Amino acid sequence: MGINRDKPDRWKDDIASSVDLYNSWFMTFAPKAFRETRIKTAKEVAYALNATNNLTNISPALLVQHPKVLPMLRMSTCPPIARDRLIGLAGVSKNLVESMEDADNPRVPPRMPADKLETELKKIAATIIKMADPDIFVWLGRDGAVVESDVSRAATIVADRLCGAVSDPIIRNAQEKRQLLAIAAWLNARGYRQLEAGNGMKFDQMPTGTYSFRMNVSVKMSSDAEDESKVNIPVDALIMPLSAKKGDFPLLIEAKSAGDFTNVNKRRKEEAQKMTQLRNTYGHAIRFGLFLCGYFDSGYLGYEAAEGIDWVWEHRIDDLEHYGL
């Protein structure tokens, strides 16, 4: 007997309740996240404008010295250019752009030959200059001094463009963190204890009554019995029931949240692929479920149900009991 996948008569009400829960959280959290991101982004835009002399000096030498200005330059064009789109338009290597936009260590690739680096940076600069938005950077191609109010206005527009790209991952990560905290609170109240991260323990060696977050599980890459190649897949939550016997697998749960219906249907095959890999490796004794909050419509639910994947809604978290926890 299933938990929710075999009860389609409940889906409509559950979808509405899940959307309400997500929206309630979003209205509280998102403004704070956006404000924090906006302050950080505005500083980055000001830095980039200063480094490029208000977008009038985009040279290879400058890009080598200030590689972190590239995201701002992409948002300065009409229309704004996505990272992969810049790679295609400029005809430059993916490694160069990704290295310059590395969040932790933006730099040009140290092993790229100097002549190739010079050529590719010139292509990036030429693409940005050609597509620079004249409605934002009104001083480009105009004689006379740059007016400070024009610079301030341009910085605000570019910062807003950048915020849209930066705030979404922040919100998504915060929502996932909140979901895992909800699972932890539910388990702690029932006598479970959390295993410390990085303890070196394999997922099938977890003691009874324990749980862990974001652990890698090794799975076969192919269903071919002769193909022994494996890959690690990350799992959000792993729970070894208090009643587990020797040789039992922990319950594997993927925490999923969504702020609109469109993206979930684009990505619904990911869970099915993960389930297939787990079963090909460990058989049907392995249990894999979803923990949902947000915009998951009947199309998504029907697809997962057809793949044999069950789920628990965050707004009805006590359904975790049906997994024998």
Checking if the pLDDT of 255 tops 90, the result is: yes
Task: In whole angstroms, give the CA distance from residue 264 to residue 293.
Answer: 11
Task: In whole angstroms, give the CA distance from residue 267 to residue 299.
Answer: 12
Confidence band of 165 (pLDDT split at 50, 70, 90): low
pLDDT tens-digit profile of 296-307?
Answer: 989 899 999 998
Q: What is the CATH number of the domain that holds 263?
A: 3.40.1350
Task: In whole angstroms, give the CA distance from residue 199 to residue 179.
Answer: 23
Same domain for 150 and 226, yes or no, is no
Per-residue confidence (pLDDT) for residue 63, from 0 to 100: 93
Same domain for 185 and 64, yes or no, is no
Per-residue confidence (pLDDT) for residue 224, from 0 to 100: 63
| CA 2 to each of CA 6, 70, 297, 309, 319: distance values in angstroms, whole numbers, following the listed order | 6, 50, 18, 9, 11
DSSP 248: P
- Please list the helix, strand and coil fractions of the chain in percent, rounded to the nearest 5, in that order: 55, 15, 30
Per-residue confidence (pLDDT) for residue 13, from 0 to 100: 93
Give the neighbor-by-neighbor strand order of the sheet with 251-258. 193-194, 210-220, 230-240, 251-258, 287-294, 310-313
| CA neighbor of 180 nearest in space, from 211, 204, 202, 203 | 211
Quick check: is 1 in a domain? no
| Containing structural domain, residue 225 | 8-28+172-323
Instruction: Look at residues 115, 135, 167 and tell me which one is the last residue of a structural domain.
Output: 167
Task: In whole angstroms, give the CA distance from residue 244 to residue 206.
Answer: 10
Per-residue confidence (pLDDT) for residue 113, from 0 to 100: 93
pLDDT tens-digit profile of 99-125?
Answer: 999 878 899 998 999 999 999 999 999
Checking if the pLDDT of 20 tops 90, the result is: yes
Same domain for 176 and 313, yes or no, is yes
Decide if 279 contacts 286 (C-beta within 8 A): yes
The residue written with tokens 């932890």 in the block is 184
Task: In whole angstroms, give the CA distance from residue 72 to residue 75.
Answer: 5
Same domain for 211 and 310, yes or no, is yes
Quick check: is 2 in a domain? no
Number of structural domains, the chain?
Answer: 2
Same domain for 187 and 239, yes or no, is yes
Quick check: is 20 in a domain? yes
Average pLDDT, the chain: 88
Quick check: is 56 in a domain? yes
Quick check: is 3 in a domain? no
Quick check: is 115 in a domain? yes
Q: Residues near 65 by Cβ (< 8 Å), separated by ≥ 6?
A: 51
Same domain for 130 and 183, yes or no, is no
Same domain for 103 and 136, yes or no, is yes
| CA neighbor of 274 nearest in space, from 285, 288, 262, 260 | 288
Question: Would you list the DSSP string of 171-208?
Answer: HHHHHHHHHHHHHHHHHHTTT-EEPPTT----GGGPPT
Decide if 211 contacts 239 (C-beta within 8 A): yes
Same domain for 293 and 182, yes or no, is yes
Same domain for 257 and 273, yes or no, is yes
Instruction: Look at residues 167, 185, 220 and tell me which one is the last residue of a structural domain.
Output: 167
Quick check: is 291 in a domain? yes
Per-residue confidence (pLDDT) for residue 310, from 0 to 100: 94
Quick check: is 305 in a domain? yes
Same domain for 128 and 78, yes or no, is yes
Same domain for 193 and 265, yes or no, is yes
Checking if the pLDDT of 226 tops 80, the result is: no
Token output for 239: 């729970």
Number of other residues whose CB lies within 10 A of the CB of residue 160: 15
Same domain for 76 and 65, yes or no, is yes
Instruction: Look at residues 152, 167, 182 and tell me which one is the last residue of a structural domain.
Output: 167
Checking if the pLDDT of 87 tops 90, the result is: yes
CA atoms within 13 A on the CB side of 47: 15
